[in-house]
Amino acid sequence: MSHQKESPDQRIGVILPVPVGQVYDYLVPSSLKACPGNIVTVEFGRQKLQGLVWHEEREADISVSKLKYISDVIPDISFSPENLRFLKWAASYTMAPLGAILKMMVSVPNIFTPLKRPRLQLSPLGDPDINFSTRVFNPQQKEAIAFIKNQISKGYSVTLLDGITGSGKTEVYLDVLSECLAKEQQALILLPQIALAPQIADRFEKRFGVSPTLWHSSLTQSQRRISWKRICSGQAKVVIGARSSLFLPYAHLGMIVVDEEHDHAYKQEEGIIYQGRDLAVARAYLGQIPCILASATPSLETVYNCETGRYHRIRLESRYGVAQFPVVSLVDLRERTRQKEGKYWISTPLAIRLEETVAVGEQALIYLNRRGYAPLTLCRACGERLQCPYCSAWLVDHRKYGRFLCHYCGHGVNLATTCQKCGAEDALVACGPGVERIVEEIAARFPSFRTAMISSDTVEDADAMAHIAAKINNHDIDVIIGTQMIAKGHHFPDLTLVGVIDADLGLSGGDLRASEKTYQLLHQVAGRAGREQKPGHVYLQTYTPDHPVLASLISGDRDAFMSQEMEARKRGNMPPFARLASLIFSSFHRENVEATARAFMRCAPRAPDILVLGPAPAPLSIIRGKHRWRILLRTPRTLSIQSVIRHWMKQVKIPSSVKVKIDIDPYSFL
C-alpha cells in the first residue's frame, strides 16, 4: 500500500512514562495537531498510554508504514519548554531513561483521564487575593531581602541564606517570594521533611492570607490530582513540597527555595537516585530563575560554591529577640564508666539537669537517632546475634510492635526470649539503646514526667506531627524523646534542655561526610533549646570528647570546623574537590554479581586523574536476598563523570540477572 499523499502526515517523537530511554515515533492524523510539550494518547504494545510530544519532526529511520497514529491530543495541558529542558537534563545527569523521568513528572494515576463525575469546583482557593503588606525586619534581614530581590531581575542566581537557627531565614525568603508572586510566577519551597510543611504553610498563610499548594507522599490520590492540575495550569502560586515536587510540570516557575539545604533527606536513594538540592539549582539554571538555599549549617558543597564565586552568600547572624545559642557541655562517658555509673543511659549530670528543668516548668528533649528499643540482640548462652535472614543486618528490637524488625527489608519476627540457635531460654539480651529504651528508663526513674516519643514509628505524617507539636506547645508534655525527626525546624518556646544520649553515633564508619553530617545534626538538635527568653543548655554524652566535631560545638566556632573539614576533603581529593560515583551491582546469584563487577573492573577507565576503587562486596553485602558489590569512581571536577560511565558501560555485557545501579555523587556507601 502506498502512502503517497499531497501533504504527508506529521511524524512526531513521543516519550512514554515507562522506564526505557527511547523516543518513539508516531504519526499525527491531519485532523490533529501536536507540538512539543503536548500530551498525546498512543497505542504502546497492547496498552493505551499518554505520552509527551518530544520532537515535532523526526528523522525517518523507521518506515512510515510501520508507524501508528496517535489517537488524540489532551486538551488544556502542555509542558513548557523549560519543563522539557529539565526532563532532558535530569535524565542525562541521573543517567536514567527519559521515560523514567517523565513518569516522575506525571506521578498521579490517570492524571490525563477526565473524571467521569466532575467533582465540586476544584478550589475555593481560586485565584488568591494575596496580601502584599510589608513587615518589620531587622537591618540584616532588610539587607538580605534587598539583595535577593535585586537578583530576581537578573535571571539565574543562587544565594545562600546562611543564618543561625532562629535568625529569621524563613521570613526573609517568604518576603522575597512576594516579588515572584507579584509577577504572576510560581514559587517552589522545598523542605527536607514534609512534617515541617504545616509550620511553613501556616507562616505563609499568616503572611499572605492564602494557603500554599502542598506536594508530598502522604497526600491522597484526589489531593495529588488537584495539586498536580493546579501546578500544571499555573493556578498554584506557591508550592511547598518534598524533593519529588521538583519534577512537577510547573506552568511558569519563577523561584526555588531549598530550605535546610544541607539535609541529607534531599538525597533520593531508591529508584532514580538524585540529590534534590543539586537538581533544584540545575532547574533554576535551566529556567534562568533565582534559587535560594537556606541553612544554619550549610553543606561543604554549597560553601565551596560560595567561596569560588558561583553562589552568593548572605549571613544572618542575630538571633530573633534576646535568644542566644545554648550553652553546650560534654559529659565524658569514659569518666562515668570508670566511676561504675553504668546502669543508666542517661548520665547523672544530665539526669540532675533534667529533673531541675521539669521542676521549674520547662521542657526537655532527649535525643537519640535510633529507632526501636535496641539495635542489637544477642544470646548470652551461644553468642548468636539476631540477624535478618535476607540482609546482612541485625534485627532491631521494636517492643512497641512486639517484633524484631529489619530496617532494610522490613522482615520481622515476633519478639521471643528463647534463642533460635541454641534453644537457651531467657538468654536473649538487648544491647544498646534505641528511643523506646530511653522512654522506658525515664518512666522508671521519673514516673511523674509526661513524655512523648517522636520517631517515624510514632509520628507517621505531617498531621500526626502537628498534633504532637500542639501538645508540646500546650505544655502537656515535659520530656520529648526523639530521633532526628525532631531535630529539624520545630520551635518550642519552653524547651530549654537538650540531652544527646550518644553524640558519637554517626562519627564512625567510612562515610566521607560522617563528621559534617554529625556536626549538622547535633548543631540542629542543640538549636532546639532556648529559642526564646529562657537560656538553653545542651548536654552531649560522648566517649570521644576531643573529637573536632564536639570541640567545635563547644566553642561555637562553626566556620573553623568547616574550614578544617574543607582542608581534609581537599587533601583527600574528595568532593567538593572531585566528583564521585558509585556503581552498585546486585543479583540473587552471588557468582553473577561478582563476575559482572570484576568484568567492569577489567574495562575500568584508565587515566592518571581517574581513580577506580573496588570491586568489593558492599558493607551491606546482602539486602532482600540480593548480593551486592560496589565500585567507586572518582574523576576531576572538570570531567563529566556521566560520560566516563556511559563509555565504560558500553564495553561490558551485563547479564539480565544482574542489576547495575549508578549513584552520582553518593551519600551512602553501604
The residues that touch Zn ion, with contacts defined as CB under 5 A, are 379, 381-382, 384, 388, 390-391, 406, 408-409, 411, 419, 421-422, 424
User: Closest separation between CB of residue 388 and Zn ion, Å?
Assistant: 3
User: Closest separation between CB of residue 440 and Zn ion, Å?
Assistant: 24
User: Closest separation between CB of residue 457 and Zn ion, Å?
Assistant: 17
User: Closest separation between CB of residue 417 and Zn ion, Å?
Assistant: 11
Which of 523, 519, 502, 505 is closest to 568 using CA atoms? 519
CA 294 to chain centre: 15
Question: Whose Cβ is closer to Zn ion: residue 381's or residue 514's?
Answer: 381
User: Closest separation between CB of residue 113 and Zn ion, Å?
Assistant: 38
Taking the C-alpha atoms of residue 98 and residue 177, their distance in angstroms, rounded to an integer, is 31
Pairing state between β 157-163 and 290-295: parallel
For the CA atoms of 91, 95, 100, 104, what is the dihedral angle to 10 degrees? -60
User: Closest separation between CB of residue 630 and Zn ion, Å?
Assistant: 18
Question: Whose Cβ is closer to Zn ion: residue 320's or residue 390's?
Answer: 390
Tell me the three cell numbers of residue 6. Answer: 499531497
User: Closest separation between CB of residue 413 and Zn ion, Å?
Assistant: 11
* 444 contacts: CB under 8 Å, gap ≥ 6: none
Question: Whose Cβ is closer to Zn ion: residue 419's or residue 442's?
Answer: 419
Question: Whose Cβ is closer to Zn ion: residue 164's or residue 419's?
Answer: 419
Question: Whose Cβ is closer to Zn ion: residue 421's or residue 659's?
Answer: 421
Question: Whose Cβ is closer to Zn ion: residue 415's or residue 554's?
Answer: 415
Which of 1, 48, 2, 44 is closest to 23 using CA atoms? 44
Tell me the three cell numbers of residue 580. Answer: 564521585
Q: Nearest-5° angle of CA 165, CA 276, CA 258?
A: 35
Q: Verify cis geometry, omega within 30 degrees of 0, for the bond prior to 615.
A: yes
Please answer whether residues 99 and 21 qualify as being in contact, where contact means their C-beta atoms are separated by less than 8 angstroms.
yes
- Cα distances (angstroms) measured from residue 60 to each of 12, 26, 40, 43, 563: 10, 11, 20, 19, 56
Which of 201, 17, 14 is closest to 112 using CA atoms? 17
User: Closest separation between CB of residue 353 and Zn ion, Å?
Assistant: 39
Question: Whose Cβ is closer to Zn ion: residue 352's or residue 422's?
Answer: 422
User: Closest separation between CB of residue 599 and Zn ion, Å?
Assistant: 28
Question: Whose Cβ is closer to Zn ion: residue 280's or residue 419's?
Answer: 419
Taking the C-alpha atoms of residue 57 and residue 60, their distance in angstroms, rounded to an integer, is 9
Q: Would you list the DSSP string of 20-48?
A: --PPEEEEE-TT----TTEEEEEEETTEE
Question: Whose Cβ is closer to Zn ion: residue 420's or residue 573's?
Answer: 420
Which of 114, 469, 489 is closest to 295 using CA atoms? 489
- Cα distances (angstroms) measured from residue 297 to each of 283, 377, 509, 661: 23, 36, 22, 30
Q: Where are the beta strands (DSSP E) in 565-665?
A: 578-587, 611-623, 626-636, 659-664
Q: List alpha helices for 262-378, DSSP H.
A: 276-287, 300-307, 333-338, 348-359
Taking the C-alpha atoms of residue 45 and residue 61, their distance in angstroms, rounded to an integer, is 20
H/E segment holding residue 605: none
Q: Would you list the DSSP string of 457-469?
A: TT--SHHHHHHHH
User: Closest separation between CB of residue 618 and Zn ion, Å?
Assistant: 14
Please answer whether residues 141 and 172 qualify as being in contact, where contact means their C-beta atoms are separated by less than 8 angstroms.
yes
Question: Whose Cβ is closer to Zn ion: residue 409's or residue 595's?
Answer: 409
Taking the C-alpha atoms of residue 596 and residue 661, their distance in angstroms, rounded to an integer, is 13
For the CA atoms of 635, 517, 165, 237, what is the dihedral angle to 10 degrees? 60
Question: Whose Cβ is closer to Zn ion: residue 16's or residue 379's?
Answer: 379
- Cα distances (angstroms) measured from residue 44 to each of 11, 65, 564, 620: 16, 16, 56, 39
Q: Verify cis geometry, omega within 30 degrees of 0, for the bond prior to 17.
A: no
User: Closest separation between CB of residue 616 and Zn ion, Å?
Assistant: 21
Tell me the three cell numbers of residue 405. Answer: 524488625
Phi, psi of 285, deg, nearest 5? -65, -45
User: Closest separation between CB of residue 416 and Zn ion, Å?
Assistant: 11
* 107 contacts: CB under 8 Å, gap ≥ 6: 224, 244, 247
Tell me the three cell numbers of residue 96. Answer: 536514567
Question: Whose Cβ is closer to Zn ion: residue 427's or residue 611's?
Answer: 427
User: Closest separation between CB of residue 272 and Zn ion, Å?
Assistant: 23
Question: Whose Cβ is closer to Zn ion: residue 401's or residue 446's?
Answer: 401
User: Closest separation between CB of residue 589 and Zn ion, Å?
Assistant: 18
Question: Whose Cβ is closer to Zn ion: residue 126's or residue 423's?
Answer: 423
User: Closest separation between CB of residue 428 and Zn ion, Å?
Assistant: 8
Taking the C-alpha atoms of residue 182 and residue 152, their distance in angstroms, rounded to an integer, is 12
Question: Whose Cβ is closer to Zn ion: residue 419's or residue 501's?
Answer: 419
